[in-house]
Structure 1
Amino acid sequence: MKHPINKKILMPVMLLGSFLSILNQTILNVALPDLMNEFEIGATTVQWLITGFMLVNGILVPVTAFLMKRFTTRQLFLSSMAFLFAGTFISAIAPGFEFLLVGRLIQAAGAGIIMPLLMTVVFVVYPKEGRGTAMGFIGLAMIVAPAIGPTLAGFVIEQFSWRWIFIGMLPLVAIVILLSLKFLVNVSETSKAKLDLTSIILSTIGFGGLLFGLSNAGDKGWGSAEVLIFIALGIVLLFLFCRRQIMSKDPLLNLSVFKVPMFTTTTIISVMVMFVMYADMILLPIYLQTSRGFSVLDTALLLLPGALVNALLSPVTGRILDKFGPKPIVIVGLCFLIPSIWGVTHLTDATTYNYLMIRTVFLRIGLSFLTMPLNTAGLNALPNHLNSHGSAVTNTVRQLAGSIGTAMIITIFTSRTNSHAAQMVDTNQALSPSQLAQKSSILGTNDAYLFMLVLGIIALVVTVFMRKERSSEQEEAIEVKKMKQPAEGR
């Protein structure tokens, strides 16, 4: 017997679980400089705590489409929370970097399940006219959690140590598990779907190889044989993965969603926005702590006002999307985002703390108008039978764009920092080793932000040429009309 769906209980429980899952994705960002010192590793190694998390997340998202066919909502949600709890426990007791990375990857396995599950639940229990508002509340988890995470982590690290980030998370995850056992019900029917293991292998090795190659380019150079081999391997396997999905009758990731122009356009813009969003979350803490000497707590507090603005705007932008459509809201968001990125392309050792805080608030305003509205607009344009596939594709692209974008930004930052340091040595500038490291790091940060600025401008150009949204009902009506025309002609 199917239980009645109580949205007032179902959504808060799932949102809390999602919030904790996404919180873990960026909660270590402000701790990266400390972890680099403690484990004696470089930026290209420590960034795997972030990119590895997003990579596993992205690879598991398409698998979730299969899992949602085989298992109930309740089973999947509880499994995701169990993975999150286990990964958090391992991270809390990790004796070294390798164990910490393993814990993070297990956490990511849980987080990779929950977000597409949550989006699918929204499209099942809410009518189309209410989805924008519902997705706006999901934005509280998707946008605010990554923004608040570093602030919470900064306070915990300042008072205790980075381990307490995970120790403090354990009871919260346990509470969500208990609430889920009591209140969570199923919202979909199960079936005996088959798992395409070949596709999983192709996507895992493909994305992993591409990410590994991009991550190592900063240290070993773009001309390195190892870097070129892994990037080429990744591209070839990803091509084979996409080809297999297109030809399969029951694909792991249904790429036919890209036949809908609005979905394709919003996805392209989302990729560039994710690049900017996650890159800023890593670059800014490194600049503040490594180049400027600010504390972890100082860094966290600088991010707090932007996080609060996100919390206020996320539900509002959902309602604005329902009223005005995607194009105006995306243009407004980019008009905040682009100047915010341009404002940090000329950082110096005297850039003021308040300036960076105000700039970050403007960036967060822009992101509030971009992330969830783009996702919702793309999914709303799909026919109803493609909703779950669209959700899987959207979340996969979002996570992989974040991981690949982060790796590329760190690579650009590292290679440009090394290049600037070599130039200053060649020109015989009278600098101490610490001054050389500081100055070259700041110049490398500027170059990385300049790359992000270019992405923002490209996103604006794509948005300007965005076609007027056509609803899924209109699309289906057009298809019906096309089918009737030959019959009428006979």
Structure 2
Amino acid sequence: MHIPQSDSPATSETTVPGRTPPVIRLLVLATFVVILNETIMINAIPRLMEAMDITEQTAQWLSTAFMLTMAAVIPITGWFLQRFSTRAAYTTAMGLFLTGTALAGLAPSFEVLLGARIVQASGTAVMMPLLMTTLMQVVPERDRGRVMGTLSLAISVAPAMGPTVSGVILQFGSWRLLFAVVFPIAAVITWFGLKRLKNVGEAKYSTVDWLSVVTAAAGFGSLVYGLSRFEDDVVTAVAIVAAGLAAIVVFVLRQLSLQKRDVPLLDLRTLRYRTYTVALVLMSVAFMAMLGSMILLPLYLQNVRGLSALQTGLLVMPGGLAMGLLGPTIGRLFDRFGGRVLVVPGAIGIALALTGFTQITMTMPIWQLLGLHALLMVSLAATFTPVFTLGLGAVPPPLYSHASSILSTLQQVAAAIGTALVVTVMSARAAALESAGVTKVLADLDGMRLAFIIGAALSVIVVVTALLLPARADGAHESEETGEADEIDEIDEAEETRPMTPV
């Protein structure tokens, strides 16, 4: 691909008060397209099973491998985004995504298709931290809520809209059409981005610790993989999760050692900021709730109520659209009134929606289901934007890339935990009832109810953590622990004196 503009020296993006910087609009658009692909294969699984003569468990690997790769790669992006310029990171991310998309569309076998999804996910893993880090660098604090509301289009709406988009596309052709539609859109966005995108901030030379790379990939990758295996083999899944947790412990200890020399792969000093840590907990549990409902609701609508994939996609589309369209408005409200007036009602709305889903029956009116789903999506929108803004705003600029990488990693782990939890609870309950003589449909329905009860119970954590968040991140760059401000100043000084190399 011809790159219209060479990688110019790092420059500072000028911002106009009240307007979203062009660099953010470009990155939001690109991030939306790449994250959409995380869930776009869900409705294509029956087609793939028939076309490639594979089982449902094998086909599910196309989504599992995508999530696993994201969890393994994202921890490395904290270092990567500091080492390479904005344009270099964007070129790498979109180049990998386009390569994976093209390979997937032409894949002659399942193995090639799986490899292509891994390449796609590697590019996607860079885009989300790149977007959040750049936003924190170029957008003044007074406008961050509004701009972060736009960012919610990519972070929250894209995965929610994946099944809907794929359901519509699959009405017109085979599963290959999914990639045939995505590729030209992504290619145009990539070309336009390379033509207009400027570097933000300065790249800083640093070496990479390969032990950290290996333990991060093995730890987070094994954790996500193990969680995805709970439905098939609980004993094996527990062993893999335990091995992943052990690798993560080694990774954490290694980072604590490297922090003494200011060269960690992922700087854990971000966790010393209380507001950031509370935001991580709230975001993780809320993301589990969202992904859990995304799994359960289509299963209920198709397996219990007999709706088609397209009908299911259209039913959940209003909630996804409302979530996206409300993002900028919620961001402006955050800038004006702060986070608590949005996060607390949003958390309560999540709890109410999930409680409502525990009452699903064979004949619950469709309008009730649509209303509950819309309430859940709107409540998540009211929660995510302020939480992201408060959390990232609570750390100093030298830690932005590391903070966004930790946040993105936990999103993937939370998604895996949420999926494993609801599927395991639902399957175990349904199997127990079937063995007692209950029909499969009624057993599945009761299993889904129990899974929604678990989600509603978890939503209580969201409400409690929402009450712990401040209204604003004012003074967030000041120390929240004795001596921490001096430590961050030392990071700044170390980066200023570190030798620079052109990227």
Shift of 1:335: 1.7
Aligned with 2:406 (options 369, 374, 393)? 393
Matching residue's letter, 2:459: G
2:208 pairs with one of 192, 195, 217: 195
* 2:375 maps to which of 355, 362, 386: 362
- How far off is 1:438 after superposition? 2.4
CA distance in 1, matches of 2:56, 2:340: 37
Alignment of 1:64-213 (within 5 A): 64-213=77-226
2:232 partner SS = helix
Asked if 1:451 is matched to 2:454, the reply is yes
* Cα distance in 1 for residues equivalent to 2:363 and 2:81: 52
Q: Say which SS state the counterpart of residue 181 (structure 1) adopts.
A: helix
Identity %: 33
Alignment partner for residue 441 of structure 1, among 424, 441, 444? 444
Instruction: Give the C-alpha shift of residue 397 in structure 1.
Output: 1.4
**What is the match of residue 5 of structure 1?**
13
Q: Distance in 2 between matches of 1:409 and 1:290?
A: 16
Between the aligned partners of 2:81 and 2:485, the Cα distance in structure 1 is 33
Give the gaps of 5 or more residues in structure 1: 430-435, 484-490
1:33 deviation in Å? 5.2
- Cα 1:177–1:212 change in 2 (3 A) is closer
1:461 and 2:469 correspond? no
Judged with a 3 Å threshold, the aligned counterparts in structure 2 of structure 1 residues 48 and 117 are, in CA distance, closer, same or farther, namely: same
Match of 1:220 among 200, 210, 233: 233
Cα distance in 1 for residues equivalent to 2:160 and 2:359: 23
Q: Give the distance between the partners of 1:398 and 1:217, measured in 2 at CA.
A: 19
More helix by share: 1
Give the Cα separation in 2 of the matches to 1:233 and 1:481.
Answer: 33
Q: Contact conserved, 2:347 with 2:466, CA < 8 A, in 1?
A: no
The one-letter amino acid of 1:243's match is L
Q: Would you say 1:230 and 2:233 are equivalent positions?
A: no
Within a 5 Å distance, the mapping from 1:320-469 to structure 2 comes to 320-424=333-437, 436-466=439-469
Cα separation, 1, equivalents of 2:480 and 2:285:
33
Q: Relative to 1, partners in 2 of residues 1:479 and 1:312: Cα closer, same or farther, differing over 3 Å?
A: same
Work out whether 1:243 is the aligned partner of 2:253: yes
The change in CA–CA distance for 1:42 and 1:15 in structure 2 (over 3 A counts) is: same
CA distance in 2, matches of 1:468, 1:182: 39
CA–CA separation in structure 2 for the residues paired with 1:452 and 1:477: 33
- 2:347 touches 2:379 (CA, 8 Å); kept in 1? yes
- Paired position in structure 2 for 1:487: none
Report how far residue 160 of structure 1 moved. 1.8
How far has the Cα of 1:423 moved from its partner? Answer: 2.4
1:173 positional shift: 1.0
- State the 1:198 CA deviation: 1.1
3-state SS, counterpart of residue 26 of structure 1:
coil
- How far residue 270 of structure 1 moved from its aligned partner, in angstroms, is 0.6
Equivalent residue of 1:302, what SS?
Answer: helix
Conserved? CA contact 2:291–2:419, under 8 Å: yes
Q: Tell me the equivalent position of 2:290.
A: 277
Aligned partner of residue 174 in structure 2, secondary structure: coil
Matched, 1:260 2:268: no
Q: How well do the aligned residues superpose, as a CA RMSD in angstroms?
A: 2.5
